[in-house]
Amino acid sequence: MKKNKTKWVSNVFVFLIFMFIYVPIAVIVAYSFNKSKASIVWTGFTFQWFTKLFEDDNILTAFKNSLEVAVMATAISTTIGTLGALGLYRYKFKGKGVIDGLLYIPIVIPEIIMGIALLAYFSSLNMSLGIFTIVLAHCTFCIPYVLIIVKSRLAGFDKSIEEAAMDLGANKAVVFRTVTLPLIYPAVISGAMMAFALSLDDVILNFFVAGPESTTLPLKIFSMLKFGLTPEINALCTAMLVITLLILLISQKFKAKN
């Protein structure tokens, strides 16, 4: 009896936590289909706010910038993260433990501190703020995610498979292309999807390192909020949410194969 009561209380507690997290998101999604411009009054179902989004050149430009940054940051982060994971897995050297620990700093450090630090660094180099600086900033926190995910896959990797391939005459490049990469590609794809989602949604780093001609979609949403919460913002948030969820679902699918 006591065990059933404890289980019931635990279930209610978990339910309330999920309600606290997801109900506000559900409200935004629901009101993105509201005919009324007042977000607190429901007057009917419509897709007109999504149509207006695709007619707004500023939003389309911001989305193009976000997509461009996310693709470049993902490509760079995936390449460096994968090679870094392979290097840490294969070789033993002094300071390896320190490097492993440093990988977590970009993940746990507050983004506002990283943003200020990167802004100061770019300013000291006299770099013009724009797409390039945003990509560099995003790589600083995307690379550790990719590296950690790929490294976790390599933790259970059987080296004898590579050794067998080399005994048969394959060089290191051929072994990597035909043996190693096919075995770790679920982790590589999962890390890439994670990096893409993180880059696409970032606001704080973009705020510090973006130039006037490189406004991204999250920054556009942030600027629109200055004029109040409107159905266009709700629709834009819903679109961003759907894109992010699709990316994360693909990432989790590949991670399940890991």
Domain ranges of the chain: 50-257
pLDDT score, position 55: 78
How high is the pLDDT of residue 237?
A: 79
Which two three-digit tokens encode residue 163? 């050794």
Q: Has residue 83 got a pLDDT over 80?
A: yes
**pTM of the predicted protein model:** 0.78
Average pLDDT along the chain: 82
Span 69-73, average pLDDT = 93
Top-ranked range on mean pLDDT: pick from 19-23, 38-42, 66-70: 66-70
Class of domain 50-257: mainly alpha
Residue 127 DSSP symbol = P
Amino acid at residue number 196: F
- In Å, what is the CA distance from 258 to each residue of 149, 198, 211, 240, 244? 9, 20, 39, 27, 21
* pLDDT over 80 at 91, yes or no: no
Q: Determine contact, residues 184/255, Cβ cutoff 8 Å.
A: no
pLDDT band of 187, cuts 50, 70, 90? confident
Percentage of the chain with pLDDT > 90?
17
pLDDT given for residue 56 in this prediction:
78
- Write the pLDDT tens digit of every residue in 149-181: 888 888 777 777 777 877 777 777 787 778 788
What pLDDT does residue 257 have?
55
As a whole number, mean pLDDT of residues 111-118 equals: 90
What's the pLDDT score for residue 53?
Answer: 78
* Confidence (pLDDT) at 98: 81
pLDDT at 160: 76
Range ranked top by mean pLDDT from 53-62, 103-112, 141-150, 157-166: 141-150
Distances (CA, A) of 216 to 8, 151, 164, 190, 206: 45, 31, 48, 24, 7
- Distance between start and end Cα atoms, the chain: 41
